[in-house]
Structure 1
Amino acid sequence: MTWDPAPLSEVVELFSRIRAPWWIAGGYAIELAVGHAFRNHGDVDVLLLRRDQLAVQEALATWEWWAADPPGTLRPWRRGELLPPGVDDIWCRPSASAPWRIQVMLDETEGDSWVSRRDPAVRRAVTELGAVTADGIPYLATEVQLFVKARHPRPKDELDFLAALPVLNPAQRQWLADALRQTFGEHPWLDRL
């Protein structure tokens, strides 16, 4: 499947139309935290809360949306359809002949708390789930994004971890260390936090 990731400026323009909270996620979130680009990206990720999933259809009203049904099957996502837990990714493109441009990921909540799909015991207030750049781009909190990447770190996840380490403050390092211990017990990143 061909990807041509939308530039962040386009993503921000499209998603700024909705009232629901959203965040740039994945490797771009790490780069926004670090303050500069340092690697190539195969896609661009946007995180929304599952409860706000239909905002994707509002933000990308004229686009095609495809739900990634596990294990690895794409299917059209019908207007107004609510995707159940387990269907966590939506691939979006402007038309059937266009490459994929944006991947939207859905995360869970309970009340005012974000609940990790990796480990439901790892939680955080939704109001503390992200940060915002000086020019107003919302992105997933660095420690949360690193926790998501920690499950099976690929070479690019290791690069992201190393690039983000210098910008993590003590509270962020502690949150990440606690979440890693809670979920994995031991993890190679713990020694560096």
Structure 2
Amino acid sequence: MDIHNWQPLTVKEVNLLFQSMPIVWGIAGGWALDLHIGRQIREHKDIDVIVFRQDQQKVYSYLSQEWILYKVYKGTLEIWKGEPLEQVNDIWVKKDEQSAWSFQLMFVDQVDENWIYRRHPMILRKASDIFLTTTEHIRYLRPEIQLLYKGGSSVIREKDNLDWQTMLPYLTVEEKEWLVSGLKGQFPEGHRWIE
């Protein structure tokens, strides 16, 4: 299976696919940052959609009628048959066995009313407050949360550094403070983005 064969849906196509789904979802990754500033910063090889783990069965029921869903876990890809996923965070989606990958689902966790950052569960936020919406009514992950995912990764890629530098002028004081607090929480020994 070619993991590099991506022909991602556009943001508008994802919005069209998900808008009638009875769940809260949003665009994530680099596209979320683009949506925040209203223009495309760089090329994207894929497109990510965030959903709450508690809605996974609704997502599966809706998508599995026309798409094949693969769970990604510890470097392997296996067809997801709808079983509850507690440890799996990523789902790759394609139309059929021969087609390219179309989009990636990313499960995030919620405890009570709060979204929980799984890499450091003391970092949390009201679940109702993790998304913003464009004037075209497309929901996307807040930039400071998206940057925390990028900066909190075990491998910070060149594109993550580029996204960080590009987004800095667009973040409010509150967004920057929240991000710095999150990075300090996860990396008490220091992080190069806040030095």
Q: Distance in 2 between matches of 1:43 and 1:56?
A: 19
1:5 matched residue in structure 2: 8
| CA RMSD of superposed structures (Å) | 1.1
1:38 matched residue in structure 2: 41
Q: Distance in 2 between matches of 1:83 and 1:175?
A: 30
CA apart distance, 1:118 = 1.4
Q: Distance in 2 between matches of 1:105 and 1:166?
A: 27
2:85 matched residue in structure 1: 83
Q: Where does the alignment leave 5 or more consecutive residues of structure 1 unmatched?
A: none
1:63 to 63, 67, 89: 67
1:97 matched residue in structure 2: 98
Q: SS of the counterpart of 1:54?
A: helix
Q: Is the 8 A contact 1:88 1:107 kept in 2?
A: yes
Alignment-mate amino acid for residue 35 of structure 1 = G
Instruction: Render the CA deviation track for 1:119-157: whole Å, top value 9, x for unaligned.
Output: 111100001101001111100010000000002321100
User: Equivalences for 1:9-20 in 2 at 5 Å?
Assistant: 9-20=12-23
1:139 matched residue in structure 2: 140
Q: Distance in 2 between matches of 1:162 and 1:13?
A: 31
CA apart distance, 1:21 = 0.6
- Report the identity percentage: 35
Q: Is the 8 A contact 1:17 1:59 kept in 2?
A: no
2:191 matched residue in structure 1: 187
Q: Distance in 1 between matches of 2:11 and 2:61?
A: 18
Q: Distance in 1 between matches of 2:62 and 2:171?
A: 32
When normalised by structure 2's length, the TM-score is 0.93
Q: Distance in 1 between matches of 2:58 and 2:162?
A: 32
Q: Distance in 1 between matches of 2:68 and 2:57?
A: 13
CA apart distance, 1:59 = 4.0
Runs of 4+ in 1 over 6 A off after TM superposition: none
Q: SS of the counterpart of 1:53?
A: helix
Q: Is the 8 A contact 1:68 1:87 kept in 2?
A: yes
Q: Distance in 1 between matches of 2:111 and 2:183?
A: 21
Q: Is the 8 A contact 1:14 1:59 kept in 2?
A: no
CA apart distance, 1:23 = 0.8
Q: SS of the counterpart of 1:162?
A: helix
When normalised by structure 1's length, the TM-score is 0.94
Q: SS of the counterpart of 2:39?
A: coil
Greater displacement, 131-140 / 50-59 = 50-59
Alignment-mate amino acid for residue 82 of structure 1 = P
Q: Distance in 2 between matches of 1:40 and 1:127?
A: 30
Greater displacement, 48-57 / 129-138 = 48-57
Alignment-mate amino acid for residue 129 of structure 1 = I
- Aligned residue pair count: 188
Alignment-mate amino acid for residue 174 of structure 2 = A
Q: Is the 8 A contact 1:34 1:163 kept in 2?
A: no
CA apart distance, 1:159 = 1.1
Q: Distance in 1 between matches of 2:192 and 2:54?
A: 34
